Amino acid sequence: MIRVPGDKSISHRALLLAALGSGTSRLSGVLPGADCRSTARILRQLGVAVPRLPDDGSPFEVEGVGLRGMEAPASVLDCGNSGTTARLLLGLLSGLSVEAALTGDDSLRTRPMARVTEPLTRAGARFREEGKPGRLPIRILGPPREPIRHRSTVASAQVKSALLLAGLGAGLEVEVVEPVPSRDHSERMLRRVGVGVRSSGEAPHEVALAQVPGSLDSLDLQVPGDISSAAFLLVLGLLGGRSVEIANVGLNPTRTGILGVLERMGAELGRENLRETDDPAGEPAGDLTARPTSLRGVEVEGPEIPSLIDEIPVLAVAAARARGTTVIRDAAELRVKESDRLRALAVNLAEVGVEVEELPDGLVIEGSDRPLEGRVRSFHDHRIAMAFGVLGALPENNIELDDRSVVDVSFPGFWELLDGFAGSAGGGAATRPGSPARPGSPARPEPSSPPRPVVTIDGPAGSGKSTTARAVAQRLGFRHLDSGALYRAATLALQRSGIPEGEWSDRGIEHLQQLEITLTPADSGFDVRIDGESQGEALRSAEVTARVARVAAIPEVRTLILEPLRRVAGLGGVVADGRDMGSVVLPDADLKVYLTASLAERARRRLLQEGVQPDAARLEEEARQLAERDAADRSRPVAPLRRPPDAVSVDTTGLAFSAQVDRIVEEVKAAIPDLTEPTIDR
Ligand code: S3P
C-alpha cells in the first residue's frame, strides 16, 4: 500500500485553527509541502510557536494563542506559491485587525485577490494594494465592521473560508452564497472547534456563521492523505500496467468528483476501510485501489467541476490515453490557478503529439494510443509537472520535463514514487531531468540517499558569519549561499538603471521587478546573474559597497530576493549566512546557528580585517561604533537582528577560527545524524 502526503486544504486549516485555539492541539499527517510550510512560517511570524512540519507526517503539538493572541508581524508575510495561505490569511488577519502585508512568488502575485478583499471592503475592511490592482502585495489596514454578506460568482472554497475566518476574527455575522458547493473542510473543522456553521448543502449553496464562542476548542486531528495527490497515482494504476493501492485517502464528498469521472471513463476503483462518513465535523477517509483498465473519453462540466478542480491536469492526461474524445467545460477558474492550467495543458499536450483544442473555459482532447514524445514545461505549477510526470511514466512514452522541483508544493517524494513505479511496471521512464526535491516525506521510499540539509548562520556585524559559513560549507561539501551577493546585485542593477538614488525605493523597485536576478550553482557557491548574465567582480565595486546597506533596507528588495534564495536553498546542501536567514528567509532550516562574540573581540576582528593595528584607543572607538550598530540593527523596522528562538548560539570569543569551524561542523553532525559524505558534485 502506498501512502500519499496529507491533504493540503485540510493541513492549512488545521494549522490556522490550532493556532487560534485556547489549548494544545495535536496534529498528525500534516502535509510537509512548501505551501503548508508557508502557512506554518507565517504563523511563527505572528507569534505562534509552530514547530518545523515533520517530513514524515508524524504528530506534533501547537499551543494555541487564542482568538486575540496573534501579534502584528515585524516583516512582510510571504505566502510563496500558496493561494490558500494568501486568501485565508487576508480574511483571518483582517478580521483579527492584525496589520500585516502579504506577498507571494511571481505566480501568486498574478492571481486575483479582490474576490476576497472586495466583499470584506464592502463590510468596512480596509486594504492597500501595493502591486497591481487586485493582486498581492496587499497590506491589511483595518477590520470589517458590518455583517459580511456575499454572493460569489465562483464556487471557491478559498473565498468562502476567507470570509468565514474574517467573521470569526471580527465577531461578525457571515453569509456566503456560492453557485454550487465548493470543498467544505472549513465548515467541518470550524464545527469541530466549537463554532456553529450552517450550510444549505445544495446549489445555490448558502453557508453562514451561526454562533461564535468566546474561545475555540483545541484540535486533535489526523489529516488524511490528499485525494488530489492520490489522483496522479490512480491514473498511473489505470494506465501504467500495474495496480495501485493507496491507504487512508480523504474522501470528503466535495472532493471526490475525480473518482466518479474516472468510473464513467471505465475505471474500476475500489474503496475500502471507510471512516467518519456521517460526521458533519469529521473528514471521511478510506483506502483506494485502481486496476489497469482501458479508458474511454468523457464529458465533464457544470456543478461537477468544483469537486475535481485540482484533478483536471491529471484528467487531461488520462483523456490523452483514452479511446475517443474528452470535453471539459465550465473550468475557466483553471486560468487563475498556479499557472493558466488550460493554456499549460494545451501547450504541453500538443508538444508531445496529442490533438487538443483550447476552449475559453475548457479543453477538447482526442485520445490515442500512439507513443507520445517531446519536451514539456512545468509552468512553475506542481500539478502540471506531476500530470506530465504520469504521462511520461506510461509505457512507450518519452517525455522530458524542464523542472521537477516544483512538485514540492504539494507532493514531496512524488518523483521517487513515480520512478519506482515506472521501473517495476516496465513503463516509460518518468520525465527528467530537473532539480531533486528536498528529502523526507511520507511518500519518499529512499532513506539511504544522503540528506541535503540547510544550515543558516546569522549574527551581528563583525561576528565573522560569512567567512565562517564559507569554511563550514567547504568542510561539509555543501555550497555557501551568500545572501549579501543578491543585495549587491540589486544595488548594481539600480546603479546601472540611471534612476536617481532618491527614487530607488519606488521607481527603482519597479525596475528591479522587470529583471531576473538568479543564483546558479557554481564552484563552491552560487553565481549571481542579472537577466542571465554573470556579474563577477562588478558586485564588489566601491560604489556598490557604499550603497548596499541602504538598498538592503528597502522592504520590497528583501521580498524580491526571497524567491531566488529559497529556490536554491530548496536544493539543499547549503550553508546560508546573513542577518535574517534563520528567522525570515529560511525558517525551516535544518540547523540554525547564531554567532556571537564579545564587543571587544568583534572590534578587534574588524580592525584587523581593515588592516588597522588594534591599539586601545582604536579598539574603544570601534567597539562604541559596533554597539551603536547593534542597537540600530536590533530596532530597525526591516529585518531586525534577532536570534531565531530555535538557533544554536555559538560564542566565538577566544576561539581560534579553525576551532570555531570545528564547533559548528560538530553541531551540524549532531543535528543531522545520517550526514556522512560531502553532498555536492563539483
Ligand atoms: C483550495 C480551494 C481551491 C483549490 C485549491 C485549494 C482550498 O481553490 O483549487 O487548490 O484549500 O480552499 P479555489 O477556492 O480558488 O477554487
The CATH number linked to 623 is: 3.40.50.300
22 Cα to the center of ligand 1, angstroms: 27
pLDDT at 426 over 90: no
| 631 part of a folded domain | yes
Residues with Cβ within 8 Å of residue 560, at least 6 apart in sequence: 490, 509, 512, 513, 517
Between these two residues, 163 and 616, which has the higher pLDDT value?
163
| 633 part of a folded domain | yes
Atom of ligand 1 lying closest to residue 160 CA: 14
pLDDT at 602 over 60: yes
The pLDDT tens digits for 232-282 are 999 999 999 899 999 999 999 999 999 999 999 999 999 999 998 778 899
| 433 part of a folded domain | no
Atom of ligand 1 lying closest to residue 12 CA: 11
620 Cα to the center of ligand 1, angstroms: 59
Between these two residues, 125 and 614, which has the higher pLDDT value?
125
Model confidence band, residue 439 (pLDDT cutoffs 50, 70, 90)? very low
Q: Which three cell numbers stand for residue 443?
A: 511518500
595 Cα to the center of ligand 1, angstroms: 42
Q: Within this chain, do residues 402 and 510 fall inside the same structural domain, yes or no?
A: no
Give the pLDDT confidence score for residue 541 in this predicted structure.
85
- Mean pLDDT throughout 364-392? 96
Q: Within this chain, do residues 527 and 471 fall inside the same structural domain, yes or no?
A: yes
Model confidence band, residue 646 (pLDDT cutoffs 50, 70, 90)? confident
Report which of 174, 172, 170 is spatially closest to residue 197, judged by C-alpha positions.
Answer: 174
Give the pLDDT confidence score for residue 508 in this predicted structure.
92
- Whole-angstrom CA distances from 187 to 113, 154, 157, 210 are 21, 18, 10, 11
Give the pLDDT confidence score for residue 588 in this predicted structure.
86
Count of domains observed in the chain: 3
Lining ligand 1 with CB less than 6 A are 9, 84, 156-158, 161, 182-183, 309-310, 333
Pairing of strands 60-63, 299-300: unpaired
Between these two residues, 427 and 349, which has the higher pLDDT value?
349
Contact by Cβ (8 Å): 562, 553: no
- DSSP helix/strand/coil, 114: helix
Range of the domain at 89: 7-221
Q: Within this chain, do residues 248 and 204 fall inside the same structural domain, yes or no?
A: no
pTM above 0.75, yes or no: no
* CATH, residue 297: 3.65.10.10
- Determine whether 158 is exposed, middle or buried from the number of CB atoms within 10 Å of its CB (0-12, 13-18, 19+): buried
Give the pLDDT confidence score for residue 438 in this predicted structure.
29
Q: Within this chain, do residues 339 and 213 fall inside the same structural domain, yes or no?
A: no
Q: Within this chain, do residues 312 and 190 fall inside the same structural domain, yes or no?
A: no
Cell 530607488, located at residue: 504
| 280 part of a folded domain | yes
| 361 part of a folded domain | yes
For ligand 1, atom 16, the nearest C-alpha belongs to: 156
- Mean pLDDT throughout 472-488? 91
583 Cα to the center of ligand 1, angstroms: 29
What is the Cα 103 distance to its own chain's centre?
A: 12
| 86 part of a folded domain | yes
Give the pLDDT confidence score for residue 423 in this predicted structure.
65
Query: For the CA atoms of 339, 343, 349, 350, what is the dihedral angle to 10 degrees?
Result: -140
Contact by Cβ (8 Å): 30, 223: yes
Q: Within this chain, do residues 489 and 405 fall inside the same structural domain, yes or no?
A: no
Model confidence band, residue 430 (pLDDT cutoffs 50, 70, 90)? low
The pLDDT tens digits for 609-645 are 777 788 888 899 889 988 888 888 788 777 778 888 8
Q: Within this chain, do residues 179 and 95 fall inside the same structural domain, yes or no?
A: yes
- Domain finish residue from 190, 221, 252: 221
Atom of ligand 1 lying closest to residue 156 CA: 14
| 680 part of a folded domain | no
- Domain finish residue from 197, 221, 245: 221
Q: Within this chain, do residues 414 and 521 fall inside the same structural domain, yes or no?
A: no
566 Cα to the center of ligand 1, angstroms: 24
Q: Within this chain, do residues 496 and 642 fall inside the same structural domain, yes or no?
A: yes
Q: Within this chain, do residues 53 and 19 fall inside the same structural domain, yes or no?
A: yes
The pLDDT tens digits for 296-354 are 999 999 999 999 999 999 999 999 999 999 999 999 999 999 999 999 999 999 999 99
Model confidence band, residue 431 (pLDDT cutoffs 50, 70, 90)? low
Atom of ligand 1 lying closest to residue 13 CA: 11
Cell 549571481, located at residue: 528
| 370 part of a folded domain | yes
The pLDDT tens digits for 544-594 are 888 888 898 888 898 888 888 988 888 888 999 988 899 888 988 989 999
- Domain finish residue from 170, 199, 221: 221
- Mean pLDDT, the chain, integer: 90
> Burial letters for 300-314: b for 16+ Cβ neighbours within 10 Å, e otherwise?
beeebbbbbbbbbbb
Of 113, 161, 165, 309, which is best to mutate to test ligand 1, by the most ligand atoms within 8 angstroms of its C-beta?
309
Atom of ligand 1 lying closest to residue 333 CA: 16
Give the pLDDT confidence score for residue 111 in this predicted structure.
96
Of 85, 156, 314, which is best to mutate to test ligand 1, by the most ligand atoms within 8 angstroms of its C-beta?
156
565 Cα to the center of ligand 1, angstroms: 27
Of 7, 8, 9, 38, which is best to mutate to test ligand 1, by the most ligand atoms within 8 angstroms of its C-beta?
9
Q: Within this chain, do residues 459 and 376 fall inside the same structural domain, yes or no?
A: no
- DSSP helix/strand/coil, 213: coil
Radius of gyration of the chain (CA): 26
Q: Which three cell numbers stand for residue 282?
A: 469529521
Give the pLDDT confidence score for residue 640 in this predicted structure.
79
Q: Within this chain, do residues 156 and 201 fall inside the same structural domain, yes or no?
A: yes
- Mean pLDDT throughout 214-236? 97
Model confidence band, residue 669 (pLDDT cutoffs 50, 70, 90)? confident
What is the length of the chain? 682
For ligand 1, atom 4, the nearest C-alpha belongs to: 310
pLDDT at 286 over 60: yes
Active-site residues, by number, are 310
